[in-house]
C-alpha cells in the first residue's frame, strides 16, 4: 500500500478532480471528513491531507511515498530527499519581491525583507550580492513596508490589487509557482512498478496548460 500526502487548501480543491480522472481519488471527500487517512479507488493507494510545509517533510522521511504541494513550499524546504517528476500546472501564481516602486536602496545598504519564505529570500538576494536582514512574518506582508518594518517583502503575488491599493507594486519575479508532484527517492527505487502507473495516470489526466493566471 503506497501513501500520498496532499496539500490542504486551494491545491487540494484543484487536485481532487484530477485524482478522480486518474482513478486515484479518495472514497470520501477529505474536506468534509474528520478522518485522517483515506482509502482511494485504487486498491494500492491511500492518502492523507496536511499543511503545505508538512508535505515534503512527510515524503522525505518516508511517511508518504509521494506528495503534491506548491513549488513555493518546495523552494523553502530546499529540495533534498525527493524527486520532482511532474508539474501539474495547477494553482499557478508567482513568488515575487514587492514594495514601494519608488524605493531605491542606497549603495551598500542592508535591506530589511519581510517574508515567510526565509530561505528563498536569503538565497535570492545572496545570488544578487545583496545583504539583507530577514524579518519573518506569517501574514499581512503588505503592511511591513507601510509601517517601516521592512524595505521589501517576498511573497506570493495574487492579482496585485492589495499591493496597488496600498501604494506598493510587484517588483522582481523569483519563481513561477504551480502544484508539483514529489516522490521519496527510496520509494521510487523500491516501488517503481507501483508508482510509475499512478504517475502516468495523473499525467494523462492533466488538462491542456491554461494561460498563466493569478493566485486565488
Span 88-147, pLDDT tens digits? 999 999 999 999 999 988 888 999 999 999 999 999 999 999 999 999 998 889 999 999
Highest mean pLDDT among 17-31, 104-118, 126-140, 151-165: 17-31
Rounded CA separation 20/107 (Å): 54
Supply the pTM of this predicted model.
0.90
> What mean pLDDT, rounded, does the chain reach?
93
Rounded CA separation 52/71 (Å): 10
Exposure string of 109-134, with b = 16+ CB inside 10 Å and e = fewer, is eebbbbbbbeebbeebbeeeeeebeb
CATH architecture designation of domain 93-176: 3-Layer(aba) Sandwich (3.40)
Q: What percent of the chain clears pLDDT 70, i.e. is strictly above it?
A: 96
Residues of the chain with CATH 3.40.190.10: 2-92+178-204, 93-176
Please identify, in words, the CATH class of the domain defined by 2-92+178-204: alpha beta
pLDDT at 20 over 60: yes
Compute the chain's Rg from CA coordinates.
Answer: 19
Q: Give the residue among 67, 108, 109, 103 at the shortest CA–CA distance from 85.
A: 67
User: And the C-alpha cell for 6?
Assistant: 496532499
Rounded CA separation 188/14 (Å): 25
Residue 178 backbone dihedrals phi, psi, to 5 degrees: -160, 170
User: And the C-alpha cell for 70?
Assistant: 506548491
Amino acid at each position: 500500500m503506497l501513501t500520498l500526502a496532499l496539500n490542504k487548501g486551494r491545491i487540494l480543491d484543484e487536485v481532487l478532480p484530477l485524482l478522480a480522472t486518474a482513478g486515484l481519488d479518495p472514497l470520501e471527500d477529505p474536506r468534509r471528513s474528520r478522518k485522517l487517512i483515506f482509502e482511494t479507488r485504487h486498491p494500492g493507494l491511500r492518502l492523507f491531507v496536511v499543511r503545505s510545509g508538512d508535505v515534503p517533510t512527510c515524503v522525505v522521511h518516508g511517511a508518504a511515498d509521494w506528495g503534491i504541494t506548491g513549488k513555493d513550499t518546495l523552494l523553502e524546504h530546499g529540495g533534498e530527499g525527493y524527486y520532482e517528476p511532474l508539474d501539474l500546472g495547477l494553482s499557478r501564481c508567482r513568488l515575487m519581491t514587492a514594495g514601494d516602486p519608488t524605493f531605491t536602496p542606497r549603495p551598500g545598504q542592508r535591506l530589511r525583507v519581510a517574508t515567510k519564505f526565509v530561505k528563498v529570500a536569503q538565497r535570492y538576494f545572496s545570488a544578487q550580492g545583496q545583504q539583507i536582514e530577514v524579518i519573518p512574518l506569517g501574514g499581512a506582508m503588505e503592511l511591513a513596508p507601510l509601517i517601516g518594518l521592512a524595505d521589501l517583502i517576498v511573497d506570493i503575488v495574487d492579482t496585485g490589487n492589495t499591493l496597488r491599493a496600498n501604494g506598493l507594486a510587484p517588483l522582481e519575479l523569483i519563481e513561477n509557482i504551480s502544484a508539483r508532484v514529489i516522490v521519496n527517492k527510496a520509494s521510487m527505487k523500491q516501488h517503481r512498478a507501483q508508482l510509475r502507473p499512478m504517475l502516468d495516470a495523473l499525467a494523462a489526466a492533466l488538462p491542456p496548460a491554461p494561460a498563466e493566471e493569478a493566485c486565488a
